Amino acid sequence: MLKKLLISLSLGVSLFGMHEAELNINDVDLEVGFKFDMGQFNNAVEPDSTFVGVKFLNADKKYSDINPKSYFEVNFLMQRAISDTNLKAGIGVKLNATGYGNKNFLSLPIGMHLLYNIPNIKVPVYIGGYVYYAPKVLSMQDAKSFFEYRFFVDVNLIKNAGITAGYRNIYTNYDISNGDVNLNHAAYIGVKFRF
C-alpha cells in the first residue's frame, strides 16, 4: 500500500510544476511531502508566494500515545517576504485525516509559517517553523481539536537540494473521554529538493 502510494505520488508530481519535494525519516517514522508553486500555472500569481501541497506521515507507536493510523493532509499556503529582512511569513490552511481504533479524525486547521534565511553564510541556511490549530468548530467526525507545531533547519548543500533536520509535534484531540492523543512527537532528518 505504502509503495503504491509513493510511486503514484512520484509519477503524479512529474505531471505538474512541482516546487518542492521532501522526505523525512527517523528510526521508525516516514514522512513525504510535495508542494506546488501556483505561480508556475497562473501568470497572475507571483512565483514563490502561493502553494498547494500534500503530505503523508506513516507514524509509529514509538513516538505516539497510541498505535496510530497513517496521517494525510492537503494544504494551502500564502507567504510573502517581509521587506528589508531575510524573513518570510505565511498563513496557511489544511485538511487533514487520521484516526485510531474505530475513531476517524478530520479537521481543517489554520496556521502561521515563518522562515528566516541566515545572512552572510556561504551555504544558504534557513531556520523555520509553523503552528496550526483547529478548534471544535473546524473539527469533524470524531475530532474535537487539532494542534501541531514544527521547527526545522534547512541547509542547501547544492543548488535546489539540501538536508533538513527538525522536530514535529502533532496533537489530535478526539471527542471522547481521555481523547487528547499525541499522534507524533519526534525529531527527524531528511532531504528537500526544489525545482
Give CA separation, 37 vs 46, 69, 151, 164, 194, in Å: 9, 29, 22, 20, 10
Mean pLDDT calculated for residue range 101-125: 94
| pTM, full prediction | 0.87
* pLDDT of 173 over the 90 cut: yes
What's the CA gap between 54 and 73, in Å, rounded? 6
- pLDDT tens for 3-44 read 554 445 444 444 445 589 999 999 999 999 999 988 776 666
Which of the following CATH numbers is that of domain 2-194: 1.10.3470, 1.20.1280, 2.40.160, 3.40.50? Answer: 2.40.160
Domain ranges of the chain: 2-194
The rounded radius of gyration (Å) of the Cα atoms in the chain is 17
